[in-house]
Structure formats: C-alpha cells, structure tokens
Amino acid sequence: MPFTPIHMGPGILIKGLLQGSFSLMVFGWTQIVMDIQPLLVMITGEGHLHGFSHTYVGATLLAVVAALTGKYLSQLGLWILEITPSIHVPIAWPVVFLSAFIGSFSHVFLDSIMHSDVQPFYPITLNNDFLGLVSISMLHKLCLYSGLVGAAVYYFIQWRSSRAS
C-alpha cells in the first residue's frame, strides 16, 4: 500500500483506544518514513521496491528514526494546527516510541499481506507467510472500517469525558 492513507485506519483505531497514550501524528510520520525507500526505487527504477525498509529489522531502525524526528515535527504540527495551545506542550517520549513502533511494524505487516516482494523476516527467512492472509479487497475494508470505528470510539470517549467535567 505505498503512498496511500489506508495505513492510517488501524492507527486511528489505536488512537481511539489509547487516546493520549498514542500519537497519531507520529504514527502518520512513520508511515511516510517507511515508504521513502519504495519512493526512491520508483523514481530511480533501481533497487528492490519493498526492500530492507519493509522487513522487521528495517522497521525497527526506521521506528527509531521516525520517533526521533517525528516528536518535534508532530509537536510543531499540532501547534500550527492549533490543537495544542503552545509549541512547548511535549509529546512524551514513551508515547512517541510506542506510536513509531506500532506504525512501522503495522506497516510491514499490512504490506506483507498484499505485496509478494515483501520479506518481513529477512535475514532469517525470505518467506512471507502473511501474503494472501486475506484478499486485498478485504484488507482495504478492514483498514477503512478500523479507521471509522476508531474515530467513533475517540469522539465518544472525548464527548463522555467533556460531559463528566
């Protein structure tokens, strides 16, 4: 699923469930970081489309990069969007790393289901046992529906907590 917002559906569900313990901004940034390598392959025509970045080893390294860069980019984005009143309201490091790791690992998992060139457990094995786990159509529906459910859960919890206070 390169360059599609479909990866965000599961992230929205996780945001709905974890609320402030998960950063959807860092999760989204991680999705972008994960697809830089496929973008370069598409531009240059050289390399393996879903190469090292789409392995769990690569995802681990990219999660760290996404966390370290995404924390400050996300805080800036939240400030620009006026979601937080001050640029100095930090996103806690545990939240940043949790969000980045969930983002990178879920990205590899979802792409493993639909792309035959993904080798998620490289260098241990070149096999992709997730390929075809569900149809591509079903995968897209699951991602879309998880996002819709997540948004409903998020806003229900926000609504309930605003009524309680």
Which string of DSSP letters, residue by residue, matches 23-60?
Answer: -HHHHHHHHHHHTHHHHHHHHH--S-TT-GGGSHHHHH
DSSP calls for 118-160? --TTTTT----TTTTSS-HHHHHHHHHHHHHHHHHHHHHHHHH
Question: Nearest-CA neighbor of 39 among 25, 26, 54?
Answer: 54
In contact, 74 and 67? CB cutoff 8 Å: no
The per-residue pLDDT string of the chain (165 residues; one tens digit each, 9 = 90 and over) reads 455 788 999 999 999 999 999 999 999 999 999 999 999 999 999 999 999 999 999 999 999 999 999 999 988 888 888 776 655 668 899 999 999 999 999 999 999 999 999 999 999 999 999 999 999 999 999 999 999 999 999 999 989 988 887
User: pTM for this structure?
Assistant: 0.92
